[in-house]
């Protein structure tokens, strides 16, 4: 973890990936994040996570990790392949899709003010 806002992975081959917590949170492979509204058919948009942090990372065997975010979300299981995808060619398409969904829903990356 780097300042709790990024997950940094270092591979034996020397490669490194640095992933922002916000991207990991909104791309979490959990059922909660990927829930579809049965009335509209639209996938739920996770908004207001610009400043989300990572509290801890839990290894799950040799294939994945569970990330515990400071908004108390911890149900996504991130496989090494999925993390490599988000750290490589999947990063910018995932972020663009997230921003497009936010705009379409009239939502923001910033937390709502109460």
**The tokens of 51 are what?**
């400043």
pLDDT tens figures, 57-107: 999 999 999 999 999 999 989 999 999 999 999 999 999 999 999 998 899
**The tokens of 24 are what?**
């990991």
Mean pLDDT of 33-42: 74
Gap between the Cα atoms of 41 and 108, Å rounded: 21
Mean pLDDT of 31-46: 75
Q: How far is CA 9 from CA 13, 39, 57, 87, 99, in A?
A: 12, 40, 12, 9, 25
Gap between the Cα atoms of 6 and 23, Å rounded: 9
**1, 7 contact by CB (below 8 A):** yes
State pTM to two decimals. Answer: 0.86
Least confident of 13-17, 41-45, 107-111: 41-45
Would you state the pLDDT for residue 65? 97
């Amino acid at each position: 973890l780097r300042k709790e806002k990024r997950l940094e992975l270092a591979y034996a081959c020397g490669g490194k990936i640095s992933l922002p917590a916000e991207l990991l949170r909104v791309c979490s492979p959990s059922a909660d994040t990927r829930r579809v509204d049965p009335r509209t058919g639209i996938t739920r948009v996770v908004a207001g996570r610009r400043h989300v942090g990572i509290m801890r990372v839990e290894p799950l065997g040799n294939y994945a990790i569970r990330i515990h975010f400071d908004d108390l979300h911890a149900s996504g299981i991130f496989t090494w392949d999925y993390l490599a995808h988000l750290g490589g060619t999947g990063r910018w398409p995932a972020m663009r899709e997230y921003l497009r969904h936010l705009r379409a829903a009239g939502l923001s990356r910033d937390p709502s003010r109460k």
